[in-house]
Chains A and B, each alone.
Chain A
């Protein structure tokens, strides 16, 4: 016997629970983790081999230098010996050797030995290397010997006078000199590994979701309907193989049931009309009653296709656009200065960079209500297309134009498009998955958390990729790369357009999709105006700080790409890592104690930094610490501030906390990205701007302005799923 049971009415009572097993999240997590580990293993093994090879190839080059040093010194010593002075009576030998060691710091050992190997003069490390063979035991005293043991390139050169063997000269240079040149590689390889891991997660999630999980989710939906006696649904066959064959077989079975049902109904109709007894219709109805109760059949040709929407498919396009945009930021001042024909990064270039950053934030903040508005009217993808199209056009323009003004206009278009796309994607994901962190059909966390993770992932990878491309190839190589990424993003959006378009044409939605909707403020115009005003105020402070002080702030360096990437990575990764355990932390932290304590700690650290450091650097450190601590506090404490969520009434309202938190996280990261290319006191002002942005977010967070969710839900609630 099988272990399933039928509930009342002969229908499975635990279909939903059983269906959950089909979407085995653990299996996909393990698969994802395994594949990412494969990528990491490959890359790290390659890096290890590359560094090892480099060290091996460079060792003989270092030995060549030791040869040159030995030749020069031997020449000088032999000239002195030629005057008839015995090797152990040479005056000034030790100062000469010392001078050589001081002049070239890479030489760590110099020595002159007697023919029997006794050390006469030593410089540098004044102990004979352990592995140096005793010269008196050498079979041919005139031979030149090379030893590369003990991490040193050692050269043992015989000294002669008048054809006689007079002694030995020993030169030692550590092979670690080569490793000093490769030190940057060793610190950068982990950066590439992390970027590869994050990028592979994004791409693999997309492939898994579009290729396996969504088709399986559709089958799962149809199975649930059929198990409940509803035969009106067919499974769209978008894939082949095992999944396609299963869907095809299921559709055939459903059609078969529908055909048999229709045949029976036709038979019943004939019976009803052919019988002459007056109670025939009632008897026929009595016969049909059980089958009508158990089977809900479709009208001829009227089967609907099951659909499962998933806005999580937008994540990869969003990630690509974020990478394309943030990869550009560190190189813009340098490229602009080159286009303008100036040697150094001019203040206007820095100002333009500040404008670009302001534009992306403005587009993001302004794009959210726009996207919500469109979402509420069933045109959810319009803002997404607008953003992606603008970004791609801007990147292509950046690539093609050669005029500084046109370049900046193209950059502005790309930046605005990116901000708008981020806002639209965020809104769409929240619209479909709800704003809270929850398990979605792709096994990751959806809602605002999912969108934030993707934006952070883009921020981590972008500057690092930009720095790598600019550093190893050229800054201008980034333009076609960014344009390609933006176009690829549009292509991906096109392929998944059916899964993200938010219409309500009788589709099956995930059970949780119908209960959470975007917080478009339809309830009260005052609420909407207040939200916009606060958002504008928060942004305005940030933008004004940037635009006014950027000319002072961003001057000087154009080589900070990779460093910027690493800085952003360190910060963003911290936030990403903190996202996962924060649920547990929040439970332990009892409300607002934890984030407020963290903020207090940051403030104390900031005050101490002012006290112990010189004036401007101290302020810089202080502002940075303050900003980071507040950002961390906000990131760690979604919903844990007492005001918005402590009462049931507040819990039902859509507060600004979500946007404030996102802005609070985004702002410091954007500014942190700039730190390596900024300098001096203005960096403190930039960091202060970041701090202000975060505090604005915090203010918005504790200020419960919004509209009840109920009003929105009643307007947009979907028809119940089959």
Chain B
């Protein structure tokens, strides 16, 4: 169906545009999620660096970590000020928690993933000492600290949740879906317009040709030029080979009619 093919062209355009938007959506959303993580990570990184500096000053003075009440209160103060922070912990080189905002963790062994990251940071030549472990929307950011002679003696870690950011991300995705819907509708409309403008003359021309061919087999068949220039379809028809075809059919029918008449005349003469 010609009309169906016009529709098919429009649908192809909308489908390709939808796929392109889907690809763009996946790409942008992934980068947006990453940017959201990075921006928040840099915020908590600042908090961690501040606490690390405090810890470093105490280590330089030779103060013990495990029963340092002022350090404990400082950690608690930071954790209370920032609701996203789940816990701040300080553990030794063996992975035993020395100080935590949640005192029930003290004395426990930290996760092997953390120790693995600490080992990696210690083994690398990079100046960047901060490591991060991501588990969905719960991130742990850590940094080793040294004693007064420069030996790594433990790490301070800050665990924070970004559950609230899930809403931000979902909201962003929903906005993109709405935008995609609007833009696909606009694309549909534009593609329809383009197809209509480009193919409508052809469709009119074809319809005109079909009508005239139908009349050829009727009793009141037209003469070669009958109505060709009277209608919009006729104007277009004149531009194509149709008139030559139509003329050939009419001439053939005329010739056949003349021949039949001559034969009849011969029969009558008999």
Whether B238 contacts A69 by the Cβ 8 Å rule is: no
Residues of A near B229 (CB, < 8 A) are 2
Whether A257 contacts B266 by the Cβ 8 Å rule is: no
A207 at the interface (CB under 8 A from B): yes
Q: With A196-B20, A241-B4, A242-B206 as given contacts, are A257 and B256 in contact (CB-CB < 8 Å)?
A: yes
User: In the complex, what distance in Å separates the CA atom of A192 from the CA atom of B240?
Assistant: 41
Interface size of A by Cβ–Cβ distance < 8 Å? 113
B117 at the interface (CB under 8 A from A): no
Q: Scan residues 141-196 of chain B and give those whose CB is less than 8 A from a CB of chain A.
A: 168, 171-172, 175-176, 179-180, 183-184, 186-187, 190-191, 194-195
Whether B27 contacts A294 by the Cβ 8 Å rule is: no
Whether B270 contacts A275 by the Cβ 8 Å rule is: yes
Residue ID in chain A nearest B211 by CB atoms: A249
Residue ID in chain A nearest B209 by CB atoms: A246
B249 at the interface (CB under 8 A from A): yes
B121 at the interface (CB under 8 A from A): no
Whether A62 contacts B39 by the Cβ 8 Å rule is: yes
A244 at the interface (CB under 8 A from B): yes
Whether A65 contacts B39 by the Cβ 8 Å rule is: yes
Q: Which of B9, B180, B244 has the most CB of A within 10 A?
A: B244
Would you give the shortest CB distance from A196 to chain B, in whole angstroms? 4
Q: With A104-B46, A178-B35, A204-B9 as given contacts, are A43 and B20 in contact (CB-CB < 8 Å)?
A: yes
Residue ID in chain B nearest A472 by CB atoms: B26
Specify which of A43, A181, A204 is in contact with B31 (CB 8 Å cutoff).
A181
Whether B46 contacts A241 by the Cβ 8 Å rule is: no
Q: With A18-B244, A249-B210 as given contacts, are A35 and B194 in contact (CB-CB < 8 Å)?
A: yes
Residue ID in chain B nearest A61 by CB atoms: B39
Q: Which of B90-98, B105-113, B197-205 contacts A (4 or more CB under 8 A)?
A: B197-205
Would you give the shortest CB distance from A666 to chain B, in whole angstroms? 26
User: In the complex, what distance in Å separates the CA atom of A192 from the CA atom of B207?
Assistant: 40
B contact patch SS: helix
Specify which of A35, A243, A268 is in contact with B206 (CB 8 Å cutoff).
A243
Q: Which of B23, B172, B184 has the most CB of A within 10 A?
A: B23
Whether B266 contacts A244 by the Cβ 8 Å rule is: no
User: In the complex, what distance in Å separates the CA atom of A129 from the CA atom of B264?
Assistant: 107
B8 at the interface (CB under 8 A from A): yes
Residues of A near B257 (CB, < 8 A) are 260
Residues of A near B224 (CB, < 8 A) are 2
Whether A256 contacts B216 by the Cβ 8 Å rule is: yes
Whether B256 contacts A253 by the Cβ 8 Å rule is: no
Specify which of A2, A64, A208, A274 is in contact with B43 (CB 8 Å cutoff).
A64
Would you give the shortest CB distance from B68 to chain A, in whole angstroms? 18
Residue ID in chain B nearest A1 by CB atoms: B225
Whether B194 contacts A31 by the Cβ 8 Å rule is: yes
Specify which of A64, A207, A241, A275 is in contact with B9 (CB 8 Å cutoff).
A207
Q: With A178-B35, A227-B241 as given contacts, are A47 and B194 in contact (CB-CB < 8 Å)?
A: no
User: In the complex, what distance in Å separates the CA atom of A203 from the CA atom of B16?
Assistant: 9
* Known pairs A104-B49, A203-B16, A207-B12 / 14 extra A-B pairs, C-beta < 8 Å: A1-B225, A21-B239, A41-B190, A45-B186, A46-B21, A47-B24, A49-B183, A57-B32, A57-B171, A199-B16, A200-B13, A212-B5, A267-B263, A472-B23
- Going nearest first, the 4 A-B pairs with the smallest beta carbon separation are A241-B2, A181-B35, A249-B213, A196-B20
Show the binding face of B for A, using Cβ within 8 Å. Answer: 1-5, 8-9, 12-13, 16-17, 19-21, 23-28, 30-32, 34-36, 38-40, 42-43, 45-47, 49-50, 81-82, 168, 171-172, 175-176, 179-180, 183-184, 186-187, 190-191, 194-195, 197-199, 202-203, 206-207, 209-211, 213-214, 216-217, 224-225, 228-229, 238-245, 247-249, 251-253, 255-260, 262-264, 266-267, 270
